[in-house]
Structure formats: C-alpha cells, structure tokens
C-alpha cells in the first residue's frame, strides 16, 4: 500500500510540474509582440545582437526591429502607431510629450556623439569651428550635443554656421567629400570619418553628456509591460555578450544587420555597454533647460514626468 501511495504522489508531482511548465509557456506565447525603432548607431546594437543570438526567443517575446536613417522618420513612425518604442533621446521624448503624445524613458543608452572636422580642415581646437559650416540635424540630440560642447568652450550655437542635414549617412558623405568644415556624428559614423582621414575634436562621452535613451509609448507601457520586461532581459544578455566576446565574433553581424557601411568593419569602436539602467536626473534637467531656452518646449518637465522604472525597483 505504501508503495502505491508513493507512486501516486510521484505521478501527481510530475503532472503538476508538467502543468506549470505548460502554463509558463502559454504565458510566454501570450505576450504581445513589440515594434522597436532603431537608428544606425551603436546604441541600437544590443537590440540587433539580442535578435540575432536568439535572446528574444529565449525570453519568449517577439521583437520586430525597424531601422530608420533620420530621427524625424523614427518619430513619425512612433506617433503614427507603427512603433511601440524606440532607441531615441531625451529631446525627442520632451517634444512628444509637449505635442500631447505620452511617452516615457525606460533606460539610458551608451552611444557616443562626436564633433569631427573634415580632412582638409585646419583645426587644432573646437574654437577653430567658429564661423565655419558644421553639419547637424535641427532640434535633435545632435544639435543639443553640439551646443553643449560649444557651451563648455565658452561659445554659443550661433558661433558656428549650422548646416542642417537630417540623414546621418548623407552628413558623413558630405564631411568626407570636403563639403563641410565639420559635423557632429554618432558612432560608428564618427569612427568611419576618422578612419578615412577626418579629425576627431571631442565627444559627448568625453564631455560627460549622455542624453541617449530607450523610450516607449504610454500605451505600450500599460498593455505590454511583460513584453518590455522580457525584452530588457534579452537586452541585458546581449550587453553581456558584447562586453565579453572578441570583436571578430560579432562584427559580421553588426555590419550586416546594423545598417552600417562596409568601412565600419575596420573602423567601428564600441563602448562598454551597461545593463539597462535609468538616466541620471541631471541629464533630464539639462535637456529640458536647453529646450526651454530655445523656446522649443514650454513645459519644465521633471524627472518623474519623463522617466519610468519598468521593473518597479
């Protein structure tokens, strides 16, 4: 009799475990898919690696990555409902909120934005850019970083002649072809320019400026929270992979899937990535101050107006 009871108990445990596994699997399969917008920069690489290495699949979430060449196109897709979230920046978040479109920052990113002078430019310091043609994209993270760099040198945004070129590949091409004195570029475009003879002046990370973020719509945060949490677990796996894996093992994926030109194969320099973490409060304050001073946004958004902790820590 004892043997029969023990056998029945064992069968019950097996069935219970099987039911639990089935339930967990069903929960994973029920998670809504996510549409994420990317830019051709190093901030986007953990997402690409997470997809290519199968980390999203491991976490049971489907993430569709859409790539854009300009911030304007990315933001239009977000506000038209074609994206749930995007690799973006604090300025774009403030613009969206000011326009009545509710979005929130869920993490900071690790990208670098660099001021690069052309091959033929006679330049020994940032001050040599005064009065010269410097390419930026208007009212974006690129112009913001450029103004912050100039500010730290005792200059203003009006010290240079800003040439507005929204598309990043076009900005790089014009700089390399000698049609600009300088340009502010994200990675890997900045490293590609330097690799081909252009001159590095300074960068956002060198200046302690980091307005890059990942943002999601309020609608997605409300209805797809479990999917976003799963996405971040996969993102963190990709960060670990990028930080610990020899460059030659992933560079092919980066070039092929990241929308980078072939020159990035040799030139690309990756930052040390961090697992998903929230932006610093002073980054939000500085961005809002800049937007207010330029009368681009009238509201003085506080940290909690802009940032949300998706894991509720």
pLDDT at 29: 57
Taking residues 125-145, report their average pLDDT. Answer: 93
CA within 13 Å, CB half, 181 = 17
Asked whether 79 and 73 are in contact (CB, 8 A), the reply is no
Peptide bond preceding 136 in cis form (omega within 30 of 0): no
pLDDT digits (tens, 9 = 90+) for 245-259: 998 899 888 888 887
Q: State the DSSP string of 78-96.
A: HHTTS-SEEEEEHHHHHHH
Note every long-range contact of 46-51, with CB atoms under 8 Å and residues 24 or more positions apart, other chains counting. 46/235, 46/238, 46/239, 46/242, 46/273, 47/87, 47/235, 47/238, 48/253, 48/254, 48/257, 48/258, 49/238, 49/241, 49/242, 49/250, 49/253, 49/254, 50/231, 50/234, 50/235, 50/237, 50/238, 51/257
pLDDT at 2: 47
What domains lie within the chain, and their CATH numbers? 31-111+211-306 (3.40.190.10), 113-203 (3.40.190.10)
Nearest Cα neighbor of 287 from 309, 303, 265, 304 is 303
pLDDT at 17: 46
pLDDT at 7: 45
Candidate from 28-32, 105-109, 177-181, 268-272 with smallest mean pLDDT: 28-32
Q: Give the whole-angstrom CA distance, residue 134 versus residue 181.
A: 6
Asked whether 36 and 50 are in contact (CB, 8 A), the reply is no
C-alpha separations of 288 from 191, 245, 298 in Å: 29, 37, 9
Residue 14 reports pLDDT greater than 50 = no
Taking residues 157-171, report their average pLDDT. Answer: 92
pLDDT at 16: 46
């Amino acid at each position: 009799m004892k043997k029969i009871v023990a056998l029945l108990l064992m069968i019950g445990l097996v069935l219970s475990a099987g039911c639990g596994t089935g339930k967990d699997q069903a929960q994973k399969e029920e998670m809504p898919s996510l549409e994420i917008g990317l830019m051709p920069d190093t901030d986007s690489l953990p997402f690409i690696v997470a997809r290519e290495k199968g980390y999203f699949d491991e976490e049971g979430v489907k993430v569709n990555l859409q790539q854009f060449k300009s911030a304007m196109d990315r933001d239009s897709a977000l506000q038209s409902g074609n994206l749930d979230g995007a690799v973006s920046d604090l300025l774009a978040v403030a613009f969206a909120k000011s326009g009545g479109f509710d979005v929130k920052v869920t993490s900071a990113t690790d990208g670098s934005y660099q001021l690069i002078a052309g091959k033929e430019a006679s330049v020994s310091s940032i001050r040599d850019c005064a009065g010269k043609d410097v390419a930026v994209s208007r009212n974006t993270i690129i112009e913001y970083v450029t103004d912050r760099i100039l500010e730290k040198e005792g200059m203003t945004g009006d010290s240079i002649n800003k040439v507005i070129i929204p598309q990043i590949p076009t900005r790089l091409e014009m700089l390399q072809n000698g049609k600009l004195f300088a340009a502010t570029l994200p990675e890997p475009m900045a490293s590609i320019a330097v690799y081909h003879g252009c001159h590095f002046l300074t960068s956002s990370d060198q200046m302690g400026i980091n307005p890059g973020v990942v943002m999601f719509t309020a609608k997605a945060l409300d209805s797809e929270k479990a999917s976003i949490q799963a996405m971040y677990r996969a993102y963190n796996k990709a960060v670990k992979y990028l930080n610990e894996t020899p460059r030659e093992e992933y560079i092919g994926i980066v070039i092929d899937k990241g929308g980078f030109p072939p020159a990035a194969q040799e030139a690309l320099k990756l930052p040390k990535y961090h697992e998903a973490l929230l932006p610093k409060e002073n980054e939000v304050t500085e961005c809002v101050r800049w937007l207010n001073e330029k009368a681009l946004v009238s509201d003085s958004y506080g940290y909690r107006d802009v940032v949300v902790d998706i894991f509720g820590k």
